[in-house]
Structure 1
Amino acid sequence: MALWLPLLSLLGLLPGAVSAPPRRSPDAQAWEPVTPELLRPARFALETYNRGRVAGARAVLGAVSGRVRRAGGGSLYSLKATVEEPPCSDPMVCRLPVSKKTLLCTFEVLDELGKHRLLRGDCGPVDAKITDDKNEISSSFFPLLNKDPLPQNFSMEMVSLFKHFITTYNRTYDSEEEAQWRMSIFMNNMVRAQEIQALDRGTAQYGVTKFSDLTEEEFRTFYLNPLLKEGPGKTMRLAKPIDDPAPPEWDWRNKGAVTKVKNQGMCGSCWAFSVTGNVEGQWFLKQGDLLSLSEQGGLETEDDYSYHGHLQTCSFTAEKVKVYINDSVELSKDEQKLAAWLAKKGPISIAINAFGMQFYRRGISRPLRLLCSPWFIDHAVLLVGYGNRSDVPFWAIKNSWGTDWGEEGYYYLHRGSRACGVNVMASSAVVD
């Protein structure tokens, strides 16, 4: 589906931006009951979890469920497992003597050519259990960090980093318990960012961002839209290819066709920002006037109908419409042809897999294809240019999370490798 098709079909009758639609898992596979294939990565994750423990102090694997994504010669296992911790009576380890404790763990294990690697492991106290017959958690859990010992890798350096994060992004929390919970999330996220960094094949740097105190689930719910590729839409005609070869580099920001970076807020409206950015560029190229269009009020300007990013009654006024659209086109999935079209025709509306973007700071991102599959599209953005940095080819991408994210609001993704599905949903409005 073209990202801007809802705009074309409504032509100014776009309702107020709403929060993200009910979330469905981006994974195509359902959660599977335990099988030998799932047990192998689960046992590997447990071995890693138990590393350094003496006999008698090692945790034991309980119920397991999970799913697997496959790409090329590798598999990515997303697992949920109960882990039985042995009784604790050592005062140097536990605060009070406790009996056997059940933890709920989520693991992500990458299997490349038979070699396993633990990408993520999070465990917390749980009263519920995983039921094999339903393959799901029977009730939710919440780690009460004020009651349980802090993780062993807890350090004053991490505390200092978290305090700096709070100051930098002006965070406040309702209680000490929530602050501890957010600090735990922050610590786990720093580990995840390091893992993403180690696996990236580009020049990107990952680390602390304004999203570092959010769980992956929260981040996806608030800032992404996993249903982008599944929405209804009409079939578009293919754009006429550009005969001229693509210039070595191009940037519409330097040519006056791109408005300032905007902020969608905690709303899954990224598609609207991708759409309006594309229309802004098309209008500029045809009419010579760069207008900042409203993502919330159809084809009105931001001045006439500013974006608020929450559910509200539409206040669209037809008399205030400033631009129009004549048609729509689907673009080639060939990156060279995309570059040629962009240089000739203007910024392009695209959608990508947002893997790693929660912790992206700068540089050219190039995640492993298995981790950033084109089949799991969940974020809409605007392609504004391309080029090379130290012989590393990139796409310059305008995001909608404000200028305090990434490189002043921009994301740079490797060009030429179809990274993160950058080429699978490229489209544009047409202004005659």
Structure 2
Amino acid sequence: MGPGVLLLWVWACAGPTGTSLPPELSQAEVTRMFKDFMIQFNRTYRSPAEQHRRFGIFAQSLSTARWLQETELGTGQYGVTRFSDWTDEEFRGVFQSPPPPAMPQAPRRPRGKLPTSCDWRKAGAVTAVKNQGQCRSCWAFAAVSNIESLWNIHFHQPWNLSVQEVLDCSWCGAGCQGGYAWDAFITVLHLRGLTSEAAYPYKGREVKCQQNRKPVAYIQGFQLLPQDEEEIAAHIATEGPITVTLNSAVMKHYKKGISQPLVKNCSPDQVDHVVLVVGYGTVSTRPYWIIKNSWGERWGEKGYYRLYRGRNACGITRFPVTATVHNTEGLRGEIKC
């Protein structure tokens, strides 16, 4: 049975007694959107029954996205994404990590006036957005991206480092079962550095740790930063990008703009996804964070997420952590944000 026939079958079976449709959309409109979704994201399903089930999930995702849009306090836009036919359980199962342990808050440091904006991408310190695939490896991607940026800032060496090495040789993380940025940093310290992505490419699953590796970048340690957004911004502006752990609930539906969801839609107490904050800025008096994700360039703003800054949106202050890299070799001067 071809896709066109399956869509007709879905339309015929997904009425008021089948799938609950968004009240503001007709059955024909939702069916057309589902067809466009299947084409855009190259979806095929193993049976008419499975396609009918996915159509129902898609319709529910539309309702959720429209609710987020109606209650949005910022300029965030929500709608159809590549996750629109996934249940919340499937989404959490692939992209979220288990709840982090309690950790002590880092002390605040004296700091000067905060720069009005900072974007380490413009300084050439941020590597390209990558895609973690079906592996729960956000923790490794965020930590490795952090090291890549810091290494570039201090040494002007734009390495793409091996996430796969962190997964395979993890000292205390759980590979594709999830983990935290500090798990990756401890692994890199244990390994005495990381090799390049080219030498140890990403597979999206755990395999045996390779021993014949040549490190090209290393760290001296890592630190937990103060749970304060001004302190976090000051550190980013002066030292470089950092990792944070967020509630990813609204990210499933995010398309673009500065996301500022209601607290009840994105609780700061339920953080579950690790990302890299590469800068911050302000548009029309609305402050925001610039966040590099690991879901590929077809998600969000070419792989990036802008989140409201100043009210601990989605728990961004819960676990700000960064590797420490120091230029002790007398090489060229550091680049600035």
Shorter chain as denominator, the TM-score bin is 0.7 to 0.9
8 Å CA contact 1:374, 1:421 repeated in 2:
yes
Is 1:330 the equivalent of 2:228? no
* Alignment correspondent of 1:276: 144
* Alignment correspondent of 1:157: 29
* Alignment correspondent of 2:279: 385
Q: Mean Cα displacement is larger for which, 156-165 or 172-181?
A: 172-181
User: Any residues of structure 2 matched to 1:113-128 within 5 Å, and which?
Assistant: none
Alignment counterpart, residue 180 of structure 1, candidates 37, 46, 52: 52
Deviations 1:127-152 (A, max 9, x none): xxxxxxxxxxxxxxxxxx68994336
Gaps of 5+ in 1: 1-144
User: Any residues of structure 2 matched to 1:241-252 within 5 Å, and which?
Assistant: 241=109, 243-252=111-120
- CA 1:152 to 1:323, structure 2 compared with 1: closer, same or farther past 3 Å? closer
Give the 3-state SS of the residue equivalent to 2:290 in structure 1.
strand
Runs of 4+ in 1 over 6 A off after TM superposition: 145-148
Larger Rg: 1
* Alignment correspondent of 2:304: 410
User: Any residues of structure 2 matched to 1:20-59 within 5 Å, and which?
Assistant: none
- CA 1:237 to 1:291, structure 2 compared with 1: closer, same or farther past 3 Å? farther
- CA 1:300 to 1:237, structure 2 compared with 1: closer, same or farther past 3 Å? farther
Structure 2 Cα separation of the partners of residues 276 and 317 of structure 1: 20
* Alignment correspondent of 1:254: 122
- How far did 1:317 drift? 2.9
Equivalent residues, number? 283
Give the 3-state SS of the residue equivalent to 1:225 in structure 2.
coil
Gaps of 5+ in 2: 1-12, 167-193, 327-337
8 Å CA contact 1:401, 1:409 repeated in 2:
yes
Is 1:309 the equivalent of 2:177? no
- How far did 1:275 drift? 0.3
8 Å CA contact 2:108, 2:226 repeated in 1:
no
Structure 2 Cα separation of the partners of residues 150 and 236 of structure 1: 50
User: Any residues of structure 2 matched to 1:30-429 within 5 Å, and which?
Assistant: 149-151=17-19, 153=21, 155-227=27-99, 229-230=100-101, 238=106, 241=109, 243-298=111-166, 299-318=194-213, 320-429=214-323
- CA 1:302 to 1:244, structure 2 compared with 1: closer, same or farther past 3 Å? same
Deviations 1:341-394 (A, max 9, x none): 101000001111112110100001111123322211100000001001222110
TM-score normalised by length of structure 2: 0.80
- How far did 1:241 drift? 2.6
Q: Pick the structure with more strand per residue.
A: 1
- How far did 1:236 drift? 8.0
- CA 1:221 to 1:410, structure 2 compared with 1: closer, same or farther past 3 Å? same
8 Å CA contact 1:325, 1:431 repeated in 2:
yes
TM-score normalised by length of structure 1: 0.63
Structure 2 Cα separation of the partners of residues 147 and 415 of structure 1: 42
Q: Pick the structure with more helix per residue.
A: 2
Structure 2 Cα separation of the partners of residues 206 and 382 of structure 1: 21
- How far did 1:311 drift? 2.9
8 Å CA contact 2:97, 2:273 repeated in 1:
yes
RMSD across aligned C-alpha pairs, in angstroms? 2.0
Amino acid paired to 1:287: F
